Amino acid sequence: EVQLVESGGVLVQPGRSMKLSCAASGFTFSSFPMAWVRQAPTKGLEWVATISTSGGSTYYRDSVKGRFTISRDNAKSTLYLQMDSLRSEDTATYYCTTGYPGITGWFAYWGQGTLVTVSS
Amino acid sequence: DIVMTQAPLSVSVTPGESASISCRSSKSLLHSNGITYVYWYLQKPGKSPQLLIYRMSNLASGVPDRFSGSGSETDFTLKISRVEAEDVGIYYCGQLLENPLTFGSGTKLEIK
C-alpha cells in the first residue's frame, strides 16, 4: 500500500525558511516522480513543484520559483521541499503526491498533508 | 497558463439521483498521442484529495463505477449516478498536459 507521510509544517515568520519532508513507503520510491501540491485555508488546490525520478529535472510554479527547492533522497525514500523567503500567501496545507505520469498522473496518491502557517 | 473553469459552484442532490459537474479548459487538453489529460479528484470533508478519473474517462482503482468521465478537447463532464451520502465533498478537475499543472476551483456536492 502506498503511504506518504508529510512532516515539518509549523508557524513561521515572513521571510524565514522551512523544510518539509515526505516519507514514502509501499512502492519503489526511486521509480516514481514526485510532486507537492498546496491548499490555502478554505481554498482550492494549487500545484507547487514536481521532481523527476533521479532528481535531475525539477519544475516550479512561477510564484515559488527562486524561493522553493524540491529535492529527493532515493536512498531514504524521502521527498523534500525547502521553502525560503516565506510569504503570508504561502500559508497552506502542503501535500506530497505521486503517481504514474501519463497514466494516473502525478496526483494519484496523496499524503495527509502538513500545515504551514506564515505569520508574524 | 491553462485555466480550468468548473460549474456549478455547488450542487445539492437527492440520494439515488444523478449529478453532473462540468469543467472547461482554456486550451485543448488533447495531446498528439490521442490522450486527453484531464483528471477528476474528490476531496471529502477533512480528508486529502483522491483520484477518481484519469485521462478523461478512466476510472481509478477502487472508485465505484457510479462515477464516469467524458468530454471533448476542452469541455468535460463528471457524472455521478445513484448519488450516495459518501459522495459529499468538493470535486476538482485538473489538467496534467503542461506546466503549470492547474486545477478548477471546485464544485461542492451536498446531499438533500
Predicted confidence pLDDT, tens digits, chain B (112 residues): 999 999 999 999 999 999 999 999 999 999 999 999 999 999 999 999 999 999 999 999 999 999 999 999 999 999 999 999 999 999 999 999 999 999 999 999 999 9
**Confidence (pLDDT) at A101:** 81
Q: What is the largest CA-CA distance in chain A?
A: 42
Inter-residue contact B92 to B104 (CB < 8 Å): yes
The DSSP element (H or E) to which B108 belongs, if any, is: strand B107-111
Q: What mean pLDDT comes out for the span A64-80?
A: 98
Q: What mean pLDDT comes out for the span A42-67?
A: 97
Inter-residue contact B79 to B10 (CB < 8 Å): no
Inter-residue contact A20 to A116 (CB < 8 Å): yes
| 3-state SS class at A109 | strand
Inter-residue contact A50 to A58 (CB < 8 Å): yes
Contact A108 B104 (CB under 8 A): no
B49 burial via Cβ count (<10 Å: 0-12, 13-18, 19+) = buried
Beta carbon pairs, A and B, within 8 Å: 57
Contact A105 B37 (CB under 8 A): yes
- The chain B residue lying nearest A95, using CA atoms, is B48
**Confidence (pLDDT) at A103:** 86
- Dist CA B23 CA B109 (whole Å): 15
Inter-residue contact A37 to A61 (CB < 8 Å): no
- Dist CA B36 CA A64 (whole Å): 28
Identify residues of A whose CB sits under 8 angstroms from chain B CBs: 35, 44-47, 50, 59, 61-62, 95, 99, 101-113
Mutation target vs A (from B9, B35, B48, B98; most A CBs, 10 A cutoff): B48
pLDDT interval class at A100 (50, 70, 90): confident
pLDDT interval class at A62 (50, 70, 90): very high
Contact B60 A104 (CB under 8 A): yes
Q: What mean pLDDT comes out for the span A12-29?
A: 97
Answer positive or negative: Cα dihedral of A70, A38, A2, B55.
negative
Chain B partners within 8 Å of A103 (Cβ): 54-55
**Confidence (pLDDT) at B15:** 97
Contact B51 A106 (CB under 8 A): no
pLDDT at A117 over 90: yes
Block residue for cell numbers 498528439:
B32
Contact A110 B92 (CB under 8 A): no
Q: CA of B70 to nearest chain A CA: how many angstroms apart?
A: 16
The bridge status of strand B102-103 relative to strand A3-7 is unpaired
- The chain B residue lying nearest A104, using CA atoms, is B54
**Confidence (pLDDT) at A34:** 97
Q: Which of A44, A47, A108 sits opposite B105 (nearest CB)?
A: A44
